[in-house]
Each structure stands twice: as C-alpha cells, then as structure tokens.
Amino acid sequence: MVRTPEEDRVIYAPIDMKAGQEFHNDYGVLSSEQLLINYGYVPEVNADDYYSFDIDLKETAPEAKAVLVKVGVLGTDGKLKTNLKLYEGGISPGVLAIYRVALLSKDELSQVDNILTGKEGSPENEARVAITLKEMCQRRLRLLGNPDRELERLEEIEDLKGVEMVKSRAELAALRYRLHTRKVLTTNEELFHLMEVETAKRLGINIKDEV
C-alpha cells in the first residue's frame, strides 16, 4: 500500500515479492516536463521525451482556421484541442500538416486537400513553415539560456553523496529537464533549417546550409 495525504493506493505486483524488496513504478510515456511537474523527477535519459508547445494563429487566414476546426485540430473557440509536440527523433508529420494549413495564404487554399493527405504545399508555403518553426525553436532556446554553467552544475550534483545528494534532487531534476528540452529543440532547429535550405534551393535562393 502507498499512503499519500490525499488517499491510500494499493499497487499489485505481477510476481511474488518478499517484504522489503524494492519495486519500480513505471510512470508511462511522459515528457521530461510532465515528469518534473507531476513527480519532481527527471531521468538521466528519457527516450520518450518531447517538447510541447502551442501555435500562434494571429496571422492565419479565416479560411485556413475553418479547415483546422473542420479536421478537429482547432476548437470553435479558436484554441488548439491539443498541444503540438516536437520529438528528438525527427519532425512530426502532424506538426508539419498543421503549420502548412495555418500558413496558407488565401491564394494557396486550394492546396488544403493535398496537405491533409500528408503532401507538401507550395515551395513558398514550405519555406514559411520551415522558417516559422526554426525561429520558434530559436526563441525557446534563448529563453533556456547558456547551457555551459548548467552542465558544470549537473556534474557537481551527480558527484554528491548521501544527504547532500538528497538535498539537491529538485535542482537535479530541473537541470535535467532544461538539458533534455534544449536537446529536443536544438535537434528540431537543425532539421527545420535543413528543410529551409532545401526549399530555398527549389525557389532558386541560396542560403547558408548551417544554423
């Protein structure tokens, strides 16, 4: 039995266990942010990590918003029904589709059906998507600040023992969250930049192939 201030919970093990034997509780597929907020803990490695964010639809054409409402992405109140997610493993097709629709100009609305089946929009639309998402990653990275001191502090904490380590657990979780988040954002920033470079080539524009 696990006793909390709010309630008692009973956890059943699928195998026989002896009194005093350690067991582990799997929290499920959660981002580092969710683990930090809900459990005050962030693992050293989180294979399921992602960065959750919202989208700015201020410049989105009303017709494009109507499409997002129709497909169930946007509520009638103008708010997304779910947060968008960036993964370390690559660009989410769902994120691309939503941004492709959101950044359509009125002259490009005929591309909606193709986009909703997973295809690209026009090169101009693709360029807007790549640049918008790359700049979003860059803004979020700037908010996280310089990682050098954080890495030094993380090494200091991981070298602590006993009571001092216990006292630093909250700081350790916060540092790991920031480092994991920075890694996801940096990976996607690079991917969106490559997308921008490839799209620029199709438009006959030369830009640097490095972020």
> Domain extents for the chain?
32-202
Give the pLDDT confidence of 9-58 residue by residue, as tens digits. Answer: 677 777 888 887 877 777 778 888 888 888 888 888 888 889 999 888 88
* pLDDT score recorded for residue 24: 73
Residues 6+ apart with CB under 8 A from 66: none
Q: What are 139's two structure tokens? A: 């803004």
What pLDDT was estimated at residue 46? 86
Q: pTM surpassing 0.75?
A: yes
The CATH T-level fold of domain 32-202 is: set domain protein methyltransferase, domain 2 (3.90.1420)
Contact 101, 112 (CB under 8 A): yes
60 and 102 Cβ atoms separated by less than 8 Å: yes
The confidence score (pLDDT) of residue 20 equals: 79
pLDDT in tens, 99-110: 999 999 888 999
**Hey, what's the torsion of the CAs at 83, 88, 94, 99, to 10 degrees?**
80
Sequence-distant (≥ 6) Cβ neighbours of residue 141 within 8 angstroms: 182, 185, 186, 189
Encoded tokens for 209: 């192939």
Name 175's Cβ contacts closer than 8 Å, sequence gap at least 6.
150, 153, 154, 157
**155: which DSSP letter?**
H
The ranges of the chain with pLDDT < 50 are 1
Q: Where are the alpha helices (DSSP H) in the chain?
A: 32-39, 62-70, 93-102, 112-116, 123-144, 147-158, 162-167, 169-202
